[in-house]
Amino acid sequence: MDIIPQIIVSGIAAGGVYGLIALGFVLIYKATSILNLATGEFMTLGAFVCFTVMTAAGAPFPVSLLATIGFAALLGVVLERVILRPLIGEPIISVIMVTIGLASILRGLTYMIWSPEYRAFPPIFPPEPLDLGFAIVPSGLLWGFAFAAVCTAIFTCIFRYTRTGLAMRATASNQQAALSMGISVKSVFALSWSFAAITAAMGGIIIGNISGISIHLGTIGLKVLSVIILGGLDSIIGAIVGGFIIGILENLAGVFLDPYLGGGTKEVVPFIVLVVIIMIRPYGIFGKPIIERV
Protein backbone atom coordinates (compact mmCIF):
# COMPACT_ATOMS: atom_id res chain seq x y z
CA MET A 1 0.00 0.00 0.00
CA ASP A 2 1.37 3.43 -0.95
CA ILE A 3 2.08 5.48 2.14
CA ILE A 4 1.11 8.86 0.64
CA PRO A 5 -2.64 8.09 0.26
CA GLN A 6 -2.63 6.67 3.80
CA ILE A 7 -1.06 9.87 5.15
CA ILE A 8 -3.53 12.08 3.28
CA VAL A 9 -6.61 10.09 4.32
CA SER A 10 -5.54 9.97 7.97
CA GLY A 11 -4.69 13.67 7.86
CA ILE A 12 -8.11 14.56 6.45
CA ALA A 13 -9.80 12.50 9.16
CA ALA A 14 -7.81 14.23 11.91
CA GLY A 15 -8.31 17.59 10.20
CA GLY A 16 -12.08 17.17 10.34
CA VAL A 17 -11.86 17.07 14.13
CA TYR A 18 -9.60 20.15 14.16
CA GLY A 19 -12.14 21.91 11.95
CA LEU A 20 -14.94 21.21 14.44
CA ILE A 21 -12.91 22.70 17.29
CA ALA A 22 -11.90 25.65 15.11
CA LEU A 23 -15.58 26.29 14.44
CA GLY A 24 -15.93 27.31 18.09
CA PHE A 25 -13.25 29.97 17.63
CA VAL A 26 -14.91 31.23 14.46
CA LEU A 27 -18.45 31.44 15.88
CA ILE A 28 -17.31 33.66 18.74
CA TYR A 29 -15.03 35.78 16.58
CA LYS A 30 -17.68 36.39 13.92
CA ALA A 31 -20.22 37.60 16.48
CA THR A 32 -18.02 39.41 19.01
CA SER A 33 -14.58 39.95 17.39
CA ILE A 34 -13.07 38.14 20.40
CA LEU A 35 -10.50 35.35 20.12
CA ASN A 36 -11.44 32.87 22.86
CA LEU A 37 -8.23 31.33 24.18
CA ALA A 38 -10.15 29.18 26.68
CA THR A 39 -11.47 26.87 23.95
CA GLY A 40 -9.04 24.11 24.94
CA GLU A 41 -10.39 24.11 28.48
CA PHE A 42 -13.95 23.91 27.14
CA MET A 43 -12.78 20.78 25.32
CA THR A 44 -11.31 19.28 28.45
CA LEU A 45 -14.37 19.96 30.58
CA GLY A 46 -16.69 18.53 27.94
CA ALA A 47 -14.61 15.33 27.67
CA PHE A 48 -14.49 14.87 31.46
CA VAL A 49 -18.23 15.50 31.89
CA CYS A 50 -19.09 12.92 29.23
CA PHE A 51 -16.57 10.48 30.74
CA THR A 52 -18.03 10.94 34.23
CA VAL A 53 -21.64 10.49 33.13
CA MET A 54 -20.70 7.30 31.27
CA THR A 55 -18.57 5.77 34.04
CA ALA A 56 -19.96 7.08 37.34
CA ALA A 57 -23.63 7.18 36.30
CA GLY A 58 -23.40 4.24 33.91
CA ALA A 59 -25.34 6.12 31.24
CA PRO A 60 -25.10 5.09 27.56
CA PHE A 61 -23.21 7.35 25.21
CA PRO A 62 -26.27 9.08 23.64
CA VAL A 63 -27.50 10.11 27.11
CA SER A 64 -24.00 11.21 28.13
CA LEU A 65 -23.69 13.20 24.92
CA LEU A 66 -26.96 15.05 25.57
CA ALA A 67 -25.88 15.76 29.15
CA THR A 68 -22.55 17.12 27.88
CA ILE A 69 -24.27 19.33 25.32
CA GLY A 70 -26.55 20.72 28.03
CA PHE A 71 -23.61 21.35 30.34
CA ALA A 72 -21.57 23.04 27.61
CA ALA A 73 -24.47 25.25 26.53
CA LEU A 74 -25.06 26.36 30.12
CA LEU A 75 -21.35 26.92 30.70
CA GLY A 76 -21.11 29.15 27.64
CA VAL A 77 -24.13 31.24 28.65
CA VAL A 78 -22.99 31.65 32.27
CA LEU A 79 -19.43 32.61 31.38
CA GLU A 80 -20.62 35.13 28.80
CA ARG A 81 -23.14 36.64 31.21
CA VAL A 82 -21.00 36.79 34.34
CA ILE A 83 -17.49 37.38 33.05
CA LEU A 84 -17.54 38.66 29.48
CA ARG A 85 -20.68 40.77 29.14
CA PRO A 86 -19.42 43.41 31.63
CA LEU A 87 -16.42 43.84 29.32
CA ILE A 88 -18.49 44.93 26.30
CA GLY A 89 -16.96 48.15 24.97
CA GLU A 90 -13.55 47.47 26.51
CA PRO A 91 -10.44 47.08 24.32
CA ILE A 92 -10.35 43.71 22.54
CA ILE A 93 -6.91 42.89 23.93
CA SER A 94 -8.31 43.22 27.46
CA VAL A 95 -11.09 40.74 26.71
CA ILE A 96 -8.62 38.29 25.15
CA MET A 97 -6.46 38.49 28.27
CA VAL A 98 -9.55 37.70 30.34
CA THR A 99 -10.09 34.54 28.28
CA ILE A 100 -6.50 33.51 29.12
CA GLY A 101 -7.30 33.96 32.81
CA LEU A 102 -10.54 32.06 32.32
CA ALA A 103 -8.58 29.19 30.77
CA SER A 104 -6.35 29.02 33.86
CA ILE A 105 -9.38 28.99 36.17
CA LEU A 106 -11.12 26.22 34.24
CA ARG A 107 -7.91 24.17 34.11
CA GLY A 108 -7.53 24.54 37.86
CA LEU A 109 -11.12 23.47 38.47
CA THR A 110 -10.60 20.43 36.26
CA TYR A 111 -7.47 19.56 38.23
CA MET A 112 -9.30 19.82 41.58
CA ILE A 113 -12.34 17.81 40.50
CA TRP A 114 -10.76 15.05 38.41
CA SER A 115 -7.03 15.11 39.35
CA PRO A 116 -4.23 15.06 36.74
CA GLU A 117 -4.43 11.31 36.12
CA TYR A 118 -4.68 10.03 32.57
CA ARG A 119 -7.91 8.15 31.82
CA ALA A 120 -8.85 5.87 28.96
CA PHE A 121 -12.17 6.92 27.48
CA PRO A 122 -14.89 4.23 27.34
CA PRO A 123 -15.29 2.91 23.79
CA ILE A 124 -18.14 4.70 22.06
CA PHE A 125 -17.60 3.76 18.40
CA PRO A 126 -17.32 0.37 16.64
CA PRO A 127 -13.68 -0.83 16.62
CA GLU A 128 -13.51 -1.94 12.97
CA PRO A 129 -11.38 0.28 10.69
CA LEU A 130 -12.47 1.27 7.20
CA ASP A 131 -10.50 -0.28 4.36
CA LEU A 132 -10.64 1.98 1.30
CA GLY A 133 -8.35 -0.23 -0.72
CA PHE A 134 -5.67 2.43 -1.09
CA ALA A 135 -5.75 3.40 2.60
CA ILE A 136 -7.05 2.19 5.95
CA VAL A 137 -8.80 4.62 8.29
CA PRO A 138 -8.53 3.63 11.98
CA SER A 139 -11.85 3.36 13.81
CA GLY A 140 -11.22 6.32 16.11
CA LEU A 141 -10.36 8.67 13.25
CA LEU A 142 -13.13 7.32 11.03
CA TRP A 143 -15.96 7.77 13.50
CA GLY A 144 -14.41 10.92 14.91
CA PHE A 145 -14.39 12.44 11.43
CA ALA A 146 -17.99 11.34 10.80
CA PHE A 147 -19.12 12.76 14.14
CA ALA A 148 -17.25 16.02 13.52
CA ALA A 149 -18.70 16.28 9.99
CA VAL A 150 -22.26 15.89 11.27
CA CYS A 151 -21.74 18.47 14.04
CA THR A 152 -20.11 20.92 11.62
CA ALA A 153 -22.93 20.50 9.10
CA ILE A 154 -25.54 21.14 11.81
CA PHE A 155 -23.91 24.33 13.03
CA THR A 156 -23.28 25.54 9.50
CA CYS A 157 -26.97 25.05 8.63
CA ILE A 158 -28.01 26.87 11.80
CA PHE A 159 -25.70 29.74 10.97
CA ARG A 160 -26.77 30.04 7.33
CA TYR A 161 -30.43 29.03 7.15
CA THR A 162 -32.17 29.92 10.43
CA ARG A 163 -33.41 33.15 11.99
CA THR A 164 -30.90 32.62 14.78
CA GLY A 165 -28.10 32.34 12.26
CA LEU A 166 -29.34 35.43 10.46
CA ALA A 167 -29.25 37.36 13.73
CA MET A 168 -25.71 36.13 14.40
CA ARG A 169 -24.56 37.13 10.91
CA ALA A 170 -26.18 40.54 11.23
CA THR A 171 -24.51 41.11 14.58
CA ALA A 172 -21.16 40.02 13.18
CA SER A 173 -21.55 42.44 10.28
CA ASN A 174 -22.67 45.52 12.21
CA GLN A 175 -23.79 45.53 15.83
CA GLN A 176 -25.40 48.96 15.68
CA ALA A 177 -27.41 48.07 12.58
CA ALA A 178 -28.46 44.79 14.21
CA LEU A 179 -29.70 46.68 17.28
CA SER A 180 -31.68 49.07 15.09
CA MET A 181 -33.42 46.07 13.51
CA GLY A 182 -34.55 44.78 16.89
CA ILE A 183 -31.91 42.05 17.29
CA SER A 184 -30.76 41.43 20.85
CA VAL A 185 -27.00 41.65 20.51
CA LYS A 186 -26.50 40.44 24.08
CA SER A 187 -28.54 37.32 23.35
CA VAL A 188 -26.49 36.71 20.21
CA PHE A 189 -23.29 37.00 22.23
CA ALA A 190 -24.57 34.48 24.79
CA LEU A 191 -25.69 32.12 22.03
CA SER A 192 -22.32 32.38 20.28
CA TRP A 193 -20.46 31.41 23.45
CA SER A 194 -22.92 28.59 24.04
CA PHE A 195 -22.43 27.19 20.53
CA ALA A 196 -18.66 27.55 20.83
CA ALA A 197 -18.64 25.64 24.13
CA ILE A 198 -20.71 22.86 22.55
CA THR A 199 -18.41 22.47 19.53
CA ALA A 200 -15.35 22.45 21.80
CA ALA A 201 -16.94 19.81 24.05
CA MET A 202 -17.73 17.66 21.02
CA GLY A 203 -14.14 17.95 19.88
CA GLY A 204 -12.93 16.98 23.36
CA ILE A 205 -15.09 13.85 23.34
CA ILE A 206 -13.79 12.79 19.91
CA ILE A 207 -10.13 13.33 20.77
CA GLY A 208 -10.62 11.75 24.19
CA ASN A 209 -12.04 8.66 22.52
CA ILE A 210 -8.97 8.45 20.28
CA SER A 211 -6.15 9.20 22.72
CA GLY A 212 -7.65 9.29 26.24
CA ILE A 213 -8.23 12.31 28.46
CA SER A 214 -6.27 14.29 31.02
CA ILE A 215 -6.15 17.90 32.18
CA HIS A 216 -3.62 18.55 29.39
CA LEU A 217 -6.13 17.74 26.65
CA GLY A 218 -6.76 21.47 26.20
CA THR A 219 -3.32 22.05 24.69
CA ILE A 220 -4.86 20.96 21.39
CA GLY A 221 -6.84 24.20 21.53
CA LEU A 222 -3.61 26.12 20.95
CA LYS A 223 -2.80 23.89 17.98
CA VAL A 224 -6.19 24.74 16.49
CA LEU A 225 -5.17 28.41 16.49
CA SER A 226 -3.01 27.61 13.48
CA VAL A 227 -6.10 26.17 11.78
CA ILE A 228 -8.19 29.31 12.13
CA ILE A 229 -5.30 31.63 11.27
CA LEU A 230 -4.67 29.56 8.14
CA GLY A 231 -8.33 29.36 7.12
CA GLY A 232 -9.42 32.82 8.26
CA LEU A 233 -10.71 33.95 11.64
CA ASP A 234 -14.14 34.84 10.29
CA SER A 235 -14.66 31.94 7.87
CA ILE A 236 -16.51 28.71 8.64
CA ILE A 237 -15.29 27.18 5.37
CA GLY A 238 -11.79 28.35 6.28
CA ALA A 239 -11.97 26.49 9.60
CA ILE A 240 -12.80 23.25 7.79
CA VAL A 241 -10.21 23.63 5.01
CA GLY A 242 -7.57 24.80 7.48
CA GLY A 243 -8.23 21.72 9.59
CA PHE A 244 -7.67 19.44 6.60
CA ILE A 245 -4.44 21.20 5.65
CA ILE A 246 -2.98 21.11 9.16
CA GLY A 247 -3.99 17.47 9.63
CA ILE A 248 -2.24 16.44 6.41
CA LEU A 249 0.88 18.53 7.14
CA GLU A 250 1.15 16.99 10.60
CA ASN A 251 1.10 13.48 9.21
CA LEU A 252 3.59 14.31 6.47
CA ALA A 253 5.98 15.81 9.02
CA GLY A 254 5.60 12.83 11.33
CA VAL A 255 6.46 10.35 8.58
CA PHE A 256 9.12 12.17 6.55
CA LEU A 257 10.80 14.55 9.01
CA ASP A 258 10.75 12.71 12.34
CA PRO A 259 13.32 10.08 11.26
CA TYR A 260 15.84 12.84 10.45
CA LEU A 261 15.07 15.32 13.24
CA GLY A 262 14.59 12.89 16.11
CA GLY A 263 10.81 13.18 16.50
CA GLY A 264 8.41 15.88 17.65
CA THR A 265 8.04 17.67 14.32
CA LYS A 266 4.38 16.68 14.12
CA GLU A 267 3.68 18.84 17.18
CA VAL A 268 5.73 21.77 15.89
CA VAL A 269 4.47 22.00 12.30
CA PRO A 270 1.13 23.73 13.11
CA PHE A 271 2.94 26.55 14.90
CA ILE A 272 5.43 26.96 12.07
CA VAL A 273 2.46 27.29 9.71
CA LEU A 274 0.93 29.82 12.12
CA VAL A 275 4.02 32.04 11.99
CA VAL A 276 4.37 31.78 8.21
CA ILE A 277 0.71 32.59 7.54
CA ILE A 278 0.77 35.61 9.87
CA MET A 279 3.81 36.92 7.98
CA ILE A 280 2.42 36.32 4.48
CA ARG A 281 -1.38 36.47 4.74
CA PRO A 282 -2.43 37.47 8.27
CA TYR A 283 -6.16 37.31 7.50
CA GLY A 284 -5.95 33.69 6.23
CA ILE A 285 -6.96 31.94 3.01
CA PHE A 286 -10.68 32.72 3.28
CA GLY A 287 -10.51 35.62 5.73
CA LYS A 288 -11.52 39.13 4.79
CA PRO A 289 -8.80 41.79 4.91
CA ILE A 290 -9.73 44.79 7.05
CA ILE A 291 -9.06 48.12 5.37
CA GLU A 292 -9.06 51.22 7.55
CA ARG A 293 -9.15 54.63 5.90
CA VAL A 294 -7.81 57.50 7.93
Q: Where are the domains of the chain?
A: 21-217
Report the distance separating Cα 194 and Cα 73, nearest Å. 4
Report the distance separating Cα 129 and Cα 82, nearest Å. 45
* Predicted confidence band of residue 290 (pLDDT cuts 50, 70, 90): low
pLDDT digits (tens, 9 = 90+) for 20-50: 888 888 888 877 778 888 888 999 999 999 9
User: Contact at 8 Å (CB) between 161 and 93?
Assistant: no
Environment class of 86 (CB within 10 Å of its CB; exposed 0-12, middle 13-18, buried 19+): exposed
Among candidate residues 20, 16, 24, the one with its CA nearest the CA of residue 248 = 16
pLDDT digits (tens, 9 = 90+) for 234-247: 788 888 888 888 88
pLDDT of residue 78: 92
As beta bridge partners, residue 136 has 131
Whether the pLDDT of residue 65 is over 70: the answer is yes
pLDDT digits (tens, 9 = 90+) for 166-200: 888 787 777 778 888 888 888 888 888 898 899 89
Range 126-136 average pLDDT: 79
Within 10 A of 30 (CB to CB), how many other CB atoms are there?
A: 19
Report the distance separating Cα 26 and Cα 108, nearest Å. 25
Number of H helices, E strands in the chain: 12, 2
pLDDT of residue 63: 93
pLDDT of residue 238: 85
Whether the pLDDT of residue 53 is over 90: the answer is yes
